[in-house]
Structure formats: structure tokens, C-alpha cells
Structure 1
Amino acid sequence: MTTAQTQAQAPANRRRNTVVWGAVPVVLLAGAMTMDHIPGTDIKLTVPYAAEGPGPTFDTLSEIDGTPVVDVEGAETLDTGGQLNMTTVSVRTNMTLGQVLARWAVTDDTLVPIEQIMPPERSEEETREVNQAQFVASESAATVAAMHHLGKPTVVNVHDVMEGAAAEGVLDKGDKILKVEDTDIAKPSEVQDEIFSRTPGDTVRLTILRDGEEETKEVTLKANPQDEKQPMLGILMDSEPAGGVQVHYNLNDIGGPSAGMMFSLAVIDKLTAGELNGGKYVAGTGTINDDGEVGPIGGIEHKIRGARDDGAELFLAPEGNCPTVKRTDAGEMTVASVANLDQAIDAMEAFAAGQPVRGCE
């Protein structure tokens, strides 16, 4: 090989080396964007963000694996029609940088700081437990709200007694509170009203039902540790139907309180003649309290998109979510604004009859 040929090939070799070595950082970056940890170590390469998007919907009037999603026992249930779907939000965590960028580029998911999904003071398991507890509480509130709407009796149940509280050693878990002094009780809020009308140190007479027998108990109220002027009985309460009626909700791996309104509507539909939804496909979301008031929830835009894409005709949205609802594309689906159970039922009746529905405008 001549000297001229060697000199001519040298720049080409340098260019090839430059291309090869210049590609190394790109390859390393691409690898870092797809790996969730450094190989051979426990060091994570995930980013501190979560992606929220539309989750699955569940028809509260249907069955899952042969079991009713909402199962009412101890009362005659009637035929239903159409659909009453609760909606969910899918949450993706432990994502690599590449996965986050991909969701940002090709989906309508919302990226939020991971602290909004999993508070730093809680572990993943603790967060799941909190979400499950909220879901169970929403089930209880949904049942009681439905009973109150239907004019059926309810009873206040002692869910737990706090350690060191005034009621410790006097009330037991599972007791039913029938009266505070001479006032009949049907809701936990009525117990609270009676207790808060007194002062720490007062003795209160309670009529309870324990093991099927009525008993009278006296409790000397203690002060709330957070507010010495506020009396405290020191119990956790929930309500349940009276007269042997029981409602079971058979959905697993669902958390949070946002299914409350749809659960309550399903109970009402099963205990009421006719089709509450007019035979339409209705979806929705919203928390519920014992009085039937509907509260706002998170991720409403994703729930609307999920219901829209699933073919829902009417969506029941909490009035408190209206600012976000107005910015969300619902397509051909009608979105109703509701603040309580009565408004949700009115919206379904109006929609089924072809009449205008109260929206967020």
C-alpha cells in the first residue's frame, strides 16, 4: 500500500471511530431511558411521576363472575335495565423516563408528581390500605343514602372504640346506638350533634342494641385532645339498613371513595319498580354521604373520556367538578351536573324522556 493510500484512509478511519464512539452516549442514554434500575444494584432509575388515564368501567347492575356487583339481601329486588356504570382512573407508577415521555407524546394521560398518588410518609402498601378503607366507607355511605332516599330505616353501628376514649369499656364494636338520652338515632351525624351539644365531663345516657337485647349505658364525655372545649365519645360509627336488609358490593382491587353515588343509584334501582336510567347507558362518578350529597372527585376528565369511548349516552358528574368538566371533550355524550341523589335521578328521567338535562354551562 502506498503512502498516499494510507494517508487517504486515515481520515476515513477517524470518521468511523468518531461515529462509533459518538454513538456510545446515545446508546447509554437510550438504555437508561428503558431500564428501571442499574443492573446488579437496587438503585432505581424510575422517575418521580405517575400517569393518570381512563380506567375500566363497571356496570353496577350487572354481574362479575356470576356474582352481582351490587347484591341486596333481605328485601325484594326488582328487574333493572340499561347500564349504571361506575368509572375509574388508571394510574401508572414506577415508570422509566422513556415510558413517561412515550405517554406524554402519544396519549392524553396526565403526568402528576408521585406525591399526589403516594404521599411520601406512606408506603405503597399503606396507600393501598387507605384507598381500600375509603372504598369500604363509600360503600356504607352509599347504602345508607339509598335507604334514606327510599324512606327505609337505618341503624347506627359502632364500628370501633378508640383506645383511652370515654366509650372504652362501655360500648363494644358491633353495638347499635338507638338513642342518645331521649332522642332517636338513625345517622352517625345525629349522634355527633347530640354529643357536640354538651361539654366535656357531662354524662350521657345511651340506649343500645347488643346481641339482640336493648341496654342502657352511661358515658362520661372526655375532651377532644385537639380541642379541650369539644366533647368526645371516642367511637367510629357507620350506618346500616335496619330490618335485616344487607347490601354487598363485589368489586375487588378498586380503591377510593368515588364510586359512592353510582353504588347508591344501583341500590335504589334494584329496590324500585321500573328502570331508573330509562333503559339508557348511564355512567358517572362522585362521592356520597349519608344524606345523599354528591361530592367532587379527582381525574374527572379521564373518567369522562373512558365513558365516552365506551359508548355511554349520559354521564353524571359532580357539580363541584364543573370547571374541569367544561374543559373536557365529551363527544356526543351528554354530561349532567348533579349535587345530590335527587338531581342524579332527575337527570336520568329527563334524558330518557328527551328533555334538557342540567349541565355545567
Structure 2
Amino acid sequence: MPRRTATMLASTLTLIAILCAGVLIPVPYSEMSPGPTVNTLGKHDGEPVLQISGRKTYPTTGHLNMTTVRVTSADYKMNLVEAVYGWLAHDNKVVPHDTLYPDGKTEEQSTQENAEEFSQSQESAKVAALKQLDIPVKSWVIVSTVVKGSPAEGKLHAGDVIKSVDGTVIKAPEDVAKQVTKHKPGENVDFVIVPAKAQAAAEKKNTTATETQKITITTAKSDDSGEERAIVGISAGTDHTFPFTIDIKLADVGGPSAGLMFALGIYDKLTPGNLTGGKFVAGTGTIDDSGKVGPIGGIEMKTVGARGKGAQYFLTPKDNCAAAAKDTPDGLTLVKVDTIEDALGALKDIRSGDTSALPKCTTKG
């Protein structure tokens, strides 16, 4: 066999061996890519995304699109070839597996957590929108979760309304931890609650629950690192009663990042005129009850997905601006927002056509 032919054959076999090894070698990475984008003012799977009853609504036009990111599953084993391809691909992003699934989190655990965050984001979006419209919303602090095996298990239950702790009226979720941590592990703490069933019954009748119970719990020592502190083993949250019905119909979506766009969609449907002036606006961002907009993950994927669907403007959380501006899709204007008021102000400029004053994202923020 001629030396040249032998060399080419050896090189080809070596290349094949390298490619085979690359396919077989697993690497600890996952992939993110642009996901679906849904107009909160429109329909999804044949029904309106936002459904409001018991209150006058107004026609809307244009787009206020929420955006998503697709990620590989927790048990997906990426190989070296796929990782290299992902690193080279413009519209995808390869990240360490632990970034998406920390502490060995399973697919089921991640899905459950995302569903809970999505549900909470819907509630906060409703509150933020109604507060912006000066529509009263009743709120109270509840037990969100009870840790299995904790001192509170069997004594407190998810949905219980926390009225006071050690005689101090509870006005916000963080007040609960403040009162509990005044104790040393092993000391008793007194809760006054409205049981979840009594609260649910009162809500159904549109009345105020009057049944209360005093629950005494012996605190335990926290098992995390740092200074010793007392715990009872619950997380506190906020629940609300709205003066009319707002339903958000969107399945197979998780996480808190659609909060801002849901809030804007609700606001638009409850006010005359059109927030967008018929323009295609997309965006992302968490939102809390006060209307504060928070950062999200996968911003680069979301801007690509939004532009691919035709978005002209993208409402971007302030803390995501620098990352988003490093690789902005052509034809997309990134608008910096920190609150729902910022977003409404930006939309006013967009629908008027005077966008010179828009707070645009830069690589510095």
C-alpha cells in the first residue's frame, strides 16, 4: 500500500475513532434554546390566555408576548459532540448541568418547583396590575409549605392564615421568621391561625373567617451552616382575594419569568385603548406584588425567540440588560424596565411612535 494512501487511511480511522469517542463520552452539561412565545393578549390552544369575568374589559390589539426557554431534561446525558455543536451554535447555549438542576434535583422536582413559581407569578401579576389601577385587593399571610419531619408538621398546614406570632400581628411573610428567630432552639413559640378549611369556606361565602386557633410549637435548631437559629419548619407566603375573576390559561409553562407580561396584559384588558398601539412587544421578568420587576435566566434565548416571531421591542429587566445587549438580534430594541410603571411608561412612548427617550439596554446595563 502506498505510503500516502496508508497515511490517509490512518488519519481517517483516527478521525472516526475520535468522533465515536465524542459520541460515547458523556459531559456534565445541559443545553438551553429559544422556546415558544405566547401573546398574553391573544389565544393559546384555542382559548384566550387571559380571561376576566365580573369586571368590564376592553378590546386589545398588538402583542404583549411572554417568552420561554427550552432546556434539556435532568436525566439527559449530553455527549462531547453535542456540547461542542451547542457551543458553536448561535441560537443555543450550553451550560453546566448543575446550573439548571442544582443539588442533583430530579426532573420531577424541577417541574414541581417551576409549576409553583409559575402559579405564584400569576398571583403577583394580578396584584401588581390591580394595584396599578387602584383596585383594592385583600391580602393575608399564609403557611405556604410545611417541611416533613419538622416541629410544625401536623400542627400547621399549607393554607393556614397566620394572624400573629407570640402576640405580634403578622403583616408580611418575613415577619414570621423574625418572630421565630427571636427564640432559641427548644423554646416554645405561639401561633394564632385561621385554619385553611375555615378560610376556604369563608372565601367561598365571600365573608371574613372568624374561627381562630392558638398553636404552640417547640422550635428546633436549623440544620444549615452559619449561626445557630431557631426554626419551626414552615415557609410563609401571601394569599389574595380579588374583587373579580382573573384566569390565566396557559399550560406546559413553568417558572416565574412571565409575571411582568401577564401584569401588562391584565392592565391592558382592564383599560380603554391599546397599550402597544398595535406594535409587537415581547418581554420577560418576574414581578412582585408591589410591581417590582426582577431578573430571569436565559435572556439571550428569549430575545432570539421573540425576534424570530416578529417582536420589535423587548421589555428587559434592568439586571439582565448587560447580558442581553451583548448579542441583540437585528431589528429588536431592548427596553430597560425595573418596575411595572417603567414598562407602562415605555409602552406609552412605543405606541406614540416617539421612542427617542426609551431607556435602552447597553452592555453596561
| TM-score normalized by the length of structure 2 | 0.77
Structure 1: stretches of 5+ with no match in the other structure? 1-10, 38-44
2:33 alignment counterpart:
53
Task: Name 1:318's counterpart in structure 2.
Answer: 317
Q: Is the 1:316–1:335 contact (alpha carbons within 8 Å) kept by the matching residues of 2?
A: yes
Q: Judge conservation of contact 1:143–1:241 (CA < 8 Å) in 2.
A: no
1:145–1:289 CA contact under 8 A, matched in 2? yes
Structure 1, 85-94 or 193-202: larger mean CA deviation: 193-202
Partner of 1:42: none
Aligned mates of 1:183, 1:332 — CA distance in 2: 52
**Percent identity over the alignment?**
33
* CA deviation vs aligned residue, 1:14-40 (integer Å, no higher than 9, x gap): 66555445532322323344x4x5xxx
Residues 160-209 of structure 1 show CA distances to partners (whole Å, capped at 9, x for unaligned) of: 44557676666544445678879696xxxx25437736844564545675
SS at match of 2:281: strand
Counterpart for residue 125 of structure 1: 108
Which residues of 2 match residues 317-356 of structure 1 at below 5 A? Answer: 317-353=316-352, 354-355=354-355, 356=357
Q: Are the counterparts in 1 of residues 170 and 176 from structure 2 also a CA contact under 8 Å? A: no
Show CA shifts across 1:280-338 (max 9, x none).
21100111112211111122122222222322122111111122133232433222111
- Equivalents in 1 of 2:177, 2:10: separation in Å? 76
- Quick check: 2:68–2:302 contact (8 Å CA) kept in 1? yes
The alignment's C-alpha RMSD in Å is 3.3
Whole-Å Cα distance in 1 between the matches of residues 234 and 88 of structure 2? 51
Equivalents in 2 of 1:230, 1:274: separation in Å? Answer: 53
Distance 2:177 2:6 in 1: 82
Contact conserved, 1:196 with 1:230, CA < 8 A, in 2? no
Cα distance in 2 for partners of 1:18, 1:162 equals 65
**SS at the partner of 1:155?**
strand
Whichever residue aligns with residue 240 of structure 2, its letter is E
Which amino acid in the other structure matches residue 31 of structure 1?
C
What is the TM-score of this pair, normalised by structure 1?
0.78
Measure how far apart 1:139 and its partner are: 2.2
Instruction: Give aligned pairs, total.
Output: 336
- TM-aligned CA distance change 1:258 to 1:16, over 3 Å: same
1:196 aligns with 2:195: no
Match of 1:358 in 2: 359
Q: Structure 2: which amino acid aligns with 1:360?
A: C
Structure 2: gaps spanning 5 or more residues = 203-208
Q: Deviations over 1:188-234 (max 9, x none)?
A: xx254377368445645456753224223334465473376667683
Conserved in 2, the CA contact under 8 Å of 1:158 and 1:173? yes
Residue 278 of structure 2 is matched in structure 1 by 279
8 Å Cα contact 2:29/2:97 also seen in 1: yes
1:24 to 10, 13, 18: 13
| In 1, Cα distance between equivalents of 2:4 and 2:43 | 67
Partners of 1:22 and 1:50 in 2: CA distance: 31
**1:170, 1:232 → 2: CA distance?**
10
Which has the larger Rg?
1
